[in-house]
Chains A and B, each alone.
Chain A
């Protein structure tokens, strides 16, 4: 829980730092150090207990699961700043302010992984969303960025309104904002409660871009500056999922049965739309936007089955998805040409980065020996373990088929890198050696976690 306070303070520190620092790379350096501090603080809290304890009964409660997710997201944030810091500096003049907003988003993430009250859910989601509207429109000279910001803002606040209506109706039905109040077994189920839960489901599905509420995702991800798309599509999306799971963890008891059908329909639509549309994309950036919808479909399995396999699966998924997508976006930001043709002959241009990129793409597709395989495996196994193997067999088969479809568009990147030649020979990317080693290190972690997923999962229990 200390993450919330520290991240808030560091956001303010960053803003004042912006006044004092004249060079842009100083801001990046300061932000990296501060994220490292946050990571150390969170590790300390996970291993030894909080640095100072905050009493927030009925509002926030730390859990092992939430702390581990914070840890993964902060580590992903550190990797993100290290590999993409140079590109954040290129977006505009207000670099320190961008970092300040990123810290505020981390404070929101701290809230949404620890809330026990619908008020805190609302605040957490809003603290994440509002800075993102600004970051989406950060590139003020680019019309596409402005368009994306406006679209994201209007759609985002519309979904906030729907979520608030859901919260109000739940309050009307139960007389309380506490999560445990609507998980009481045998409590009377009122129409207010069911309508409220459905409205919140719609709003949260919107925030994590699950179909049929995904329509904003491709435009916003495509229009936003690529560095911020990377942040939005990974860290923020996983945080949204954790908020989603925490919300329905307690509620799954009272609405079992019919509930599974709603989630199953959302999963199947998300998988189908995400994967099939991604096949037809020509731009790698847009393909990644659709692939993030498709991956959201797999992450929804944790909501669908609501058991321990699902929790372990979402932890692995958070790590797999963040590492791979941040790595791919980091390389993509350095390219001039975002289409598949831009990757032609990449293996000859950048042999080391090409290998790292190939590993990450394989992980996203879920090929064994990468962590992506185990994350998908745990997700499907969670549904089987929850006893849905019979009634929802079609859903599992569909998930497998969609994973097979996804191999096609992921492998197009590898094909372009290794088996196609560029029309004119291109020089190496303008990146430092450190960048190459970092991306390669991230790929190495992807492989290591793919061999030893238990190493990460043990932190859930000890």
Chain B
């Protein structure tokens, strides 16, 4: 399968994530959409890694490590996403304890 398919898939998943963040009102679902965005980036990085690997191999057959740095990047994204999940879910739980709801609109009502 051509690598461009993966790139388009990643872009589409990213756009779904962005739309979800902008339209949904349940903070858990908004949070899921953010994770979707991060994972779309992971997929895109892996696809680009393969792309650059193939491209560099044509230029220099001995350069077998070309394109590996973006696969390393994926691990860093996973680690940071895990740290973000732990903090984010704690904040959402804290909010649920206070107002018994995870609706974002509820918070906006409190402001006024």
Q: Do A and B bind each other?
A: yes
Binding site for B on A (CB under 8 A): 119, 122-123, 126, 130, 133-134, 137, 140, 143-144, 146-147, 149-151, 153-154, 157-158, 160-162, 164-165, 167-169, 171-172, 175-177, 219
Contact A151-B107, Cβ < 8 Å, known A130-B84, A140-B94, A146-B91: yes
Q: How far is A133 from B69 in the complex, measured between Cα atoms in Å?
A: 29
- A residues near B87, Cβ cutoff 8 Å: 130, 133-134, 153
A133 touches B107 (CB 8 A): no
Which residue from B44, B55, B91 sits with its C-beta under 8 Å from A175?
A: B55
Contact A123-B91, Cβ < 8 Å, known A143-B99, A172-B48: no
A164 touches B38 (CB 8 A): yes
- B residues near A219, Cβ cutoff 8 Å: 111
- B residues near A153, Cβ cutoff 8 Å: 87-88, 91
- A residues near B95, Cβ cutoff 8 Å: 146-147, 150
A119 touches B94 (CB 8 A): no
B44 — nearest CB in chain A belongs to which residue? A168
Contact A161-B45, Cβ < 8 Å, known A137-B91, A143-B110, A146-B91: no
Listed A/B pairs (6) with beta-carbon separation below 8 Å: A119-B76, A122-B80, A149-B94, A150-B104, A157-B34, A175-B55
A143 — nearest CB in chain B belongs to which residue? B98
Contact A126-B17, Cβ < 8 Å, known A134-B87, A137-B94, A175-B67: no
Contact A171-B70, Cβ < 8 Å, known A133-B88, A165-B37: yes
Binding site for A on B (CB under 8 A): 7, 14, 17-18, 21, 27, 30-31, 34, 37-38, 40-41, 44-45, 48, 51-52, 55-56, 66-67, 69-70, 72-73, 76-77, 80, 83-84, 87-88, 91-92, 94-95, 98-99, 104, 107, 110-111
B55 — nearest CB in chain A belongs to which residue? A175
CB A218 to nearest CB in B, in angstroms, measures: 10
- A residues near B40, Cβ cutoff 8 Å: 165
CB B40 to nearest CB in A, in angstroms, measures: 8
Contact A161-B34, Cβ < 8 Å, known A122-B76, A123-B76, A172-B44: yes
Q: How far is A219 from B108 in the complex, measured between Cα atoms in Å?
A: 10
- B residues near A165, Cβ cutoff 8 Å: 14, 37, 40-41, 44
Q: How far is A165 from B80 in the complex, measured between Cα atoms in Å?
A: 15
- B residues near A147, Cβ cutoff 8 Å: 95, 107, 110-111
Contact A150-B27, Cβ < 8 Å, known A130-B83, A137-B91, A172-B48: yes
CB B37 to nearest CB in A, in angstroms, measures: 4
A136 — nearest CB in chain B belongs to which residue? B91
- A residues near B80, Cβ cutoff 8 Å: 122-123, 126, 130, 160
A154 touches B31 (CB 8 A): yes
Which residue from A123, A149, A161, A175 sits with its C-beta under 8 Å from B38?
A: A161
- B residues near A146, Cβ cutoff 8 Å: 91, 94-95, 98
Q: How far is A414 from B111 in the complex, measured between Cα atoms in Å?
A: 29
Q: How far is A378 from B88 in the complex, measured between Cα atoms in Å?
A: 40
Interface centre among B14, B91, B94 (most CB of A within 10 A): B91
- B residues near A154, Cβ cutoff 8 Å: 21, 27, 30-31, 34, 88, 104
CB A25 to nearest CB in B, in angstroms, measures: 27
Q: How far is A144 from B108 in the complex, measured between Cα atoms in Å?
A: 10
A173 — nearest CB in chain B belongs to which residue? B48
Q: How far is A77 from B84 in the complex, measured between Cα atoms in Å?
A: 25
- A residues near B76, Cβ cutoff 8 Å: 119, 122-123
Interface centre among B37, B44, B55, B80 (most CB of A within 10 A): B80
- A residues near B66, Cβ cutoff 8 Å: 175
CB B112 to nearest CB in A, in angstroms, measures: 12
